[in-house]
A and B are shown apart, each in its own frame.
Chain A
Amino acid sequence: MTTTPPPGSLLVARDLRKVYGPTTALDGAGFSIHPGEVVAVMGPSGSGKSTLLHCLAGIVTPDSGSIMYDGRELTEMSDGERSALRRSEFGFVFQFGQLVPELTCVENVALPMRLNGTPRKEAERAALTWMERLEVDDVRGKRPGEVSGGQGQRVAVARALVTGPRLLFADEPTGALDSLNGERVMELLTDAARSSNAAVVLVTHEARVAAYSDREIVVRDGRSRDMERVV
């Protein structure tokens, strides 16, 4: 995507390239998102959509290209600065939740706040509020191994939102769930994000999930392009 991004964008990426050995994961991809906007990144397996998400989130540094977040160039930040940014302004949801198995659900949700230095009780209070909103407060004391996949994924969404991030990255958040649970998670995720004015980058290959977004872009062979929404 090489066109000029719309003004007021929260995050803008231009001409991203990333190569893993002989494989070119990104080959000039671009991206932009506004505050409160939900953008779905779609594409077939191996197209580079997860790599794009990792670059946008500052998890992986692209080989070349630019990523501007709120006026700051992500590619020029140190690892520590990017980590701090992820802790304070970004949130993450992965396909399998990736909850810490030994912590209880409420402790898992409180974890990002605690990493930011919030005292335990205060963090757990905030965590519980988010768990109530995501309808999983009844499993607060259980460990991830003791809850269902849908509940676990909702706990992961609560964990991603608890710090009040401005940008939420969700990588196939319903990939491991059945359609009913998947839809419920998406409803709660997008509602919660919108209510807190958080932008969402939603990586998925399912049109049904992408339907929750405001805009879709497609990644193919490491390149991205905007898609017309067919209503």
Chain B
Amino acid sequence: MSAAQWARDLGMGLRFAFAGGREGWTRALLTAVGVGLGVALLLLTTALPGALAERDRRGEARLNFTYGEQIERAGDTLVTADTDTEFGGRDIRGRLLEPEGDKAPVPPGLREFPARGDMVVSPALKELLGSGDGALLRERLPYDIVGTIGEQGLIGSQELAYYAGAEGLADRVGDGMVGRIDSFGDPNPTEEEMDPVLMLLILVVFVVLLMPVAVFIAAAVRFGGERRDRRLAALRLVGSDGGMTRRIAAGEALGGALLGLVFGTGFFLAGREFAASVEVFRISVFPSYLNPSPLLALLVAVAVPGAAVLVTLLTLRGVVIEPLGVVRTARPARRRLWWRLLFPLAGVIMLVPMLGQGRENGEFNGYLVTGGVICLLVGVTALLPWFVETVVARLGTGSVSWQLAVRRLQLSSGTAARMVNGIAVAVAGAIALQMLFAGVEDDYTKETGFDVTLAQMQVRVPDGTEIAAATTRLEKTEGVRKVYPLSEGYFADRPYTEEPQRNAQLTVGDCATLREVAKLPSCADGDVFAVRGGEYDTDTPSLSRPGQKLYAEVSSSGEELTEVAWTVPEALKEADSVEDPTGTKRGGFLLTPGAMPDDLAGAVSGQLYLAIDDSVPHAREHVRNTAAAIDPLSSPMTWSATERTERFDSIRTGLFVGAAAVLALIGASLLVSQLEQLRERRKLLSALVAFGTRRRTLSLSVLWQTAVPIGLGLLLASVVGITLGAVLLRMTSTPVGVDWASVLQMTGIGAGVVLVVTLLSMPPLLRMMRPDGLRTE
């Protein structure tokens, strides 16, 4: 067989693809849309690792790394303060900058330093601050906007970030938030690998998304199959041999696939621009770095049309094209189970070695993960035809509509199974992902452990802040019910210069507040308590002897540290620790304000625990605004677990929407196939109507014909999805739990698809049941 012959046959098929009348064009367009979606998804897949790597690179390049050895003030140093905040559930990256010389490093994305009182903002933050929604935030960031941060200084298009000019920061270097740097970026960059769990999620998402697209392509290439069959038979009649005919058919599919490549590139480019305006799970990207790897893009360009041709050849496998017509092989050989089990088995074998590795144990082997997940999902597609055939063969006869449907399925269960394979894969994948997300999210939520019944926010104010004044301001803030002010520090058994061996926590607060952290026998201002039963506290008993001298470290100005001595008083009382608002049992010493010497003020930092009235709109935003007004370096924290729940909800919603979209795609495939089947049976339907068959009977038979395989598909998908979900959860060392809500949700969508496909099949079915179909007799 010469290459010229191949080219000639494929070329003839290509011409047929676009010259086959309305049906031909429809088929070519449907194939192109399916292939286009696949190509766009594949291009996105190939672009994603590069995009995430670029985000990491940019994130690292703008890092103001202040740990390690302290840098002395010089002409090339810059003092930075982290003033990250959040607004409406979105994180805002904030930095205060104070250059100490002309050569101070300018952050990426900035041309010059903003002056004191000015700020340079990201485009998204500028938009937010300019909108009505951002009015509250404007209060918190009372700086003049003098410019926007360039793309190089941002990791995503929707990132909220600002750099504000400041003065007097140098005096506060050493406070956790403030540091001196002479360059941006991590001085000791580590080869940062992508979070293995995130990588796992991405891999699964794309496998799940691509499989239904493949099913859609397989359905699309069958559209208008009857006319194509007649054309192919005519070709056989004029002397085309079997091989030639198949190549011509493949050429027809190639036409749609090539058009699909163009569509796919268009979809991708349009999606790439659109990507700049959206944020998914708090991640946004810039189109500039959403570039597919050229080699992988080339591979996609070759593999996708190749796959479309392969699918066509596979669908023609059970078809004998004869000169007088097309004969579909009557009864396929009985399906065997053993080799179908190999796929899920291989998947489990690939994934099992990674069980229990968790996030800490580093990478998952990408190839094994992808291979394992694909094998499990392909396992669904391999098992489904056998499963449908086996179950359908055992279904008894019932009403006429049931009998018609069941017999049809028994005769060609493979077609039905292929059609629902997409749904099964999508549902199995979605259930697995929901379980994984739910499990991982639970994992994070459990870590907090805050007692949110007492306080729902915490504000840490920088050292030296007047706690009483800060308390008053916060008490007056809209939405704050109560403030529990505590100052915290540490005592040691000897001066810090002499390397202390034992230490104990120091907590200062009024009696009412101290009662939230310990069970006090009695309390009056001036009392001091030694706390028993604190977590991780072994030294307090030995340090609480009256008369004993203890030392506290006080930061006065800049980096200078001094020691202050304190003597354990004679009137020391004892108290039992109780779970404090942070959910921990603290030990050490409790001091009422009257027992606190003035020179110890610098040894403690203020923590204010706030009870919030959530019925007040934007209560938390008001607190953040007050905290920023007290000191821009104060850091408010929200304890409420609701944020986690909200985030989880958004993931669920995202998955729900994604799965629904995939199922809609599969629904469209089912509809195309159903209509094609009805068209092929037009005469038969008319004949059935002629001898009095009720429309209801035939409509119900269409419903059963869709519902039975989908029902079986959903059952199998639930089993595989739960298995895959359990394996993935074990891989991330997360307790396995079935998210039944998602299982029900997914099966519900599947049932919805059955109904919609049946309903949409009704008008053409009723039209084809008209007696007109008999006119050709």
Q: Which residues does A use to contact B, with CB under 8 Å?
A: 20, 50-51, 54, 57, 59-60, 83-88, 90-92, 94-96, 98, 100-104, 107, 111-112, 114-115, 120, 143, 145-146, 159-160, 171-172
Which of chain B's residues 386-400 have a Cβ closer than 8 Å to chain A? 397, 400
Per a CB cutoff under 8 Å, which of A57, A102, A103, A104 touches B690?
A57
CB of B400 within 8 A of CB of A115, answer: yes
* Best-buried of B411, B412, B691, B694 by chain A (most CB within 10 Å): B691
Contact B404 A91 (CB under 8 A): no
Residues of A within 8 A of B407 (CB): 100, 102-104, 107
Residues B771 and A54 in contact, CB atoms below 8 Å apart: yes
Interface assignment of B408: CB less than 8 Å from any CB of chain A: yes
Residues of A within 8 A of B52 (CB): none
Q: Is the CB of A95 within 8 A of B777?
A: yes
* Pairwise interchain contact A107-B403, C-beta atoms closer than 8 A: yes
Since A59-B771, A95-B777, A98-B688 are in contact, a sample of 12 more A-B pairs with Cβ atoms closer than 8 Å, ordered by chain A residue number, is A50-B774, A54-B775, A59-B689, A59-B774, A92-B687, A94-B777, A98-B683, A100-B404, A101-B411, A111-B400, A112-B692, A115-B694
User: Which residues of B have CB within 8 Å of A120?
Assistant: 397, 403
Residue of B nearest to A160 (CB): B691
- How far, in Å, is A23 (CB) from chain B's closest CB? 11
- Nearest A residue (CB) for B398: A120
Q: How far is the CB of A22 from chain B (nearest CB, A)?
A: 15
Q: Is B503 an interface residue (CB 8 A)?
A: no
- State whether B403 touches A86 (Cβ < 8 A): no
Residues of B within 8 A of A (CB): 330-331, 397, 400, 403-404, 407-408, 410-412, 683-684, 687-694, 697, 771, 774-775, 777
A84 B777 Cβ-Cβ under 8 A: no
Given B693, B694, B774, which contacts A54 in the complex, CB threshold below 8 Å?
Answer: B774
Task: Report Cα–Cα, A159/B684, bound state, in Å.
Answer: 14
Q: Indicate whether A114 sits within 8 Å of B400 (C-beta atoms), given known contacts A60-B771, A102-B411.
A: yes
What distance in Å separates the Cβ of B7 from its nearest Cβ neighbour in chain A? Answer: 37
**A143:B771 contact, CB within 8 angstroms:** no
Known: A57-B690, A91-B691, A92-B687. A143 touches B774 (CB 8 A): no
Interface hub of A20, A102, A107, A171 (most chain B Cβ within 10 A): A102
Contact: A86 with B690, CB < 8 Å? Answer: yes
Cβ of B751 to closest chain A Cβ, rounded Å: 25
Alpha-carbon distance A92/B693, docked complex (angstroms): 12
Q: Which residue from chain B places its CB closest to the CB of A156 in the assembled complex?
A: B687
Known contacts A100-B684, A107-B403, A171-B777: A112-B691 contact under CB 8 Å: yes
Note all chain B residues with C-beta closer than 8 A to A143. Answer: 330-331, 411
Q: In the complex, which residues of chain A have a beta carbon less than 8 angstroms from the beta carbon of B771?
A: 54, 59-60
Smallest beta-carbon distance B108→chain A, Å: 68
Q: Closest Cβ of chain A: how far from B673's Cβ, in Å?
A: 16
B687 contacts which chain A residues (CB < 8 A)?
92, 94, 98
Contacts of B691 in A (CB 8 A): 86-87, 90-92, 112, 115, 159-160
**Could you jot down 12 A-B contacts, CB within 8 Å?**
A59-B690, A60-B771, A86-B690, A87-B693, A94-B777, A96-B683, A98-B688, A102-B408, A114-B400, A115-B692, A115-B694, A146-B330
Q: Which residues of B contact A101 (CB under 8 A)?
A: 411, 684
Nearest neighbor of B685 in chain A, beta-carbon distance: A98
CA distance A103 to B402 in the complex (A): 12
Chain A residues near B408 (CB-CB < 8 A): 102
Closest 10 CB pairs between A and B? A87-B692, A98-B687, A86-B692, A102-B407, A59-B771, A102-B411, A102-B408, A83-B692, A92-B691, A60-B771
List, in ascending order, chain B residues with CB within 8 A of A159's CB: 691
State whether A92 touches B690 (Cβ < 8 A): yes
In the complex the two chains form, what is the Cα distance from A95 to B692 in whole Å?
18
- Residues of B with C-beta under 8 A to A50: 774-775, 777
Neighbouring A residues of B775 by C-beta, 8 Å: 20, 50-51, 54
Shortest distance between the CB of B635 and any CB in chain A (Å): 71
**Nearest-Cβ distance from residue B771 to partner chain A, whole angstroms:** 4
Cα(A103)–Cα(B404), bound, Å: 7
Give Cα distance in the complex from A114 to B691, angstroms.
Answer: 12
Least CB separation from B407: chain A residue: A102
Task: With both chains docked as a complex, state the minimum distance between the C-beta of B685 and any C-beta of chain A, in angstroms.
Answer: 9
The CA of A91 and the CA of B687, in the complex, are separated in Å by 11
B553 → A minimal CB distance (Å): 87
A83–B770 Cα gap in the complex (Å)?
12
Find chain A residues with CB under 8 A from B688 CB. Answer: 98, 100
A102-B777 in contact (CB<8A) = no
A188 to B683, CA, bound (A): 25
The listed residue with most A CB atoms (<10 A of its CB), out of B331, B688, B690, B775, is B690
Closest chain B residue to A60 by CB distance? B771
Closest to B397 in A: A120
Q: Cβ of A87: which chain B residues have Cβ within 8 Å of it?
A: 691-693
Least CB distance from B747 to A in Å reads 28
Q: Known contacts A54-B774, A87-B692: does B403 contact A103 (CB below 8 Å)?
A: yes
CA distance A86 to B403 in the complex (A): 21
How far, in angstroms, from A86 to B408 measured CA to CA in the complex? Answer: 25
Bound CA span A120–B396, Å: 11
Q: Which residue of A lies closest to B408 (CB)?
A: A102
Contact A172 B777 (CB under 8 A): yes
* Docked CA distance A96–B777 (Å): 8
Q: Residue of A at shortest CB range from B406? A: A102
Residues of B within 8 A of A96 (CB): 683, 777
Question: Which residue of chain A is the closest to B692 with respect to CB atoms?
Answer: A87
- In the complex, the answer to whether A98 meets B693 with C-beta atoms within 8 Å is no
A96 to B683, CA, bound (A): 10
Please name all residues of chain B whose beta carbon is closer than 8 Å to the beta carbon of A100 when the two chains form the complex: 404, 407, 684, 688
Query: In whole angstroms, how far apart are the Cα atoms of A115 and B775 in the complex?
Result: 24
Please give me the residue from chain B that is nearest to A97 by CB atom.
B687
How far, in angstroms, from A146 to B740 measured CA to CA in the complex? 47
CB closest residue in chain B, given A86: B692
Asked if A83 meets B694 with Cβ closer than 8 Å, knowing A92-B687, A102-B411, the reply is yes
The distance from the CB of B409 to the nearest CB of chain A, in whole angstroms, is 8
Which B residues lie within 8 Å of A88 (CB)?
A: 692
Is B400 in contact with A102, judged by CB distance below 8 angstroms?
no
Contact at A145–B693, with CB atoms within 8 Å? no
Residues on A with C-beta less than 8 A from B412 are 102
Residue from B412, B684, B688, B692 having most chain A Cβ neighbours under 10 A: B692
In angstroms, how far is the closest chain B Cβ from the Cβ of A21? Answer: 11
State A90–B690 Cα separation when bound (angstroms). Answer: 10
B287 to chain A, nearest CB (A): 52
Q: In the complex the two chains form, what is the Cα distance from A197 to B481 in whole Å?
A: 96
Query: What is the minimal beta-carbon distance from A156 to any residue of chain B, in angstroms?
Result: 9
- Chain A residues with Cβ under 8 A from B683's Cβ? 96, 98
Q: How far is B694's CA from A54's CA once the two chains are assembled, in angstroms?
A: 18
A115 near B777 with CB under 8 A, answer no
Q: Which of B400, B411, B693: most chain A CB closer than 10 A? A: B400
Expressed in whole angstroms, the Cα–Cα distance for A18 and B53 within the complex equals 74
Instruction: Give Cα A40–Cα B777 distance, bound, in whole angstroms.
Output: 17
Once the chains are docked, how many angstroms separate the CA of A20 from the CA of B690?
A: 19
Q: CA A114 – CA B211 in complex, angstroms?
A: 42
* A154 to B689 Cα, complex, angstroms: 20
Q: Which residues of A contact B684 (CB under 8 A)?
A: 98, 100-101
What is the minimal beta-carbon distance from B166 to any residue of chain A, in angstroms? 80
Whole-angstrom distance from the CB of A53 to the nearest CB of chain B?
Answer: 9
Q: Which residues of B contact A54 (CB under 8 A)?
A: 771, 774-775
In the complex, are the beta carbons of A115 and B411 less than 8 A apart?
Answer: no
Cα separation A94 to B775 with both chains bound (whole Å): 11
CB-defined contacts of A83 to chain B, threshold 8 Å? 689, 692-694
**Contact present for B403 and A84 (CB under 8 Å):** no
Which residue of A87, A90, A98, A104 has the most chain B CB atoms within 10 A of its CB atom? Answer: A98
A216 to chain B: closest CB distance in Å?
20
Q: Within 8 Å CB of B694, what residues of A?
A: 83, 115
Q: Find the A residue at minimum CB distance from B329.
A: A145
Distance in angstroms from B245 CB to nearest chain A CB is 22
Chain A contacts of B411 at CB under 8 A?
101-102, 143
Inter-chain CA distance A57–B687, complex, in Å, is: 12
- In the bound assembly, the distance between CA atoms of A60 and B772 in angstroms comes to 8
Known: A50-B777, A54-B774, A98-B684. Contact between A84 and B400, CB under 8 A? Answer: no
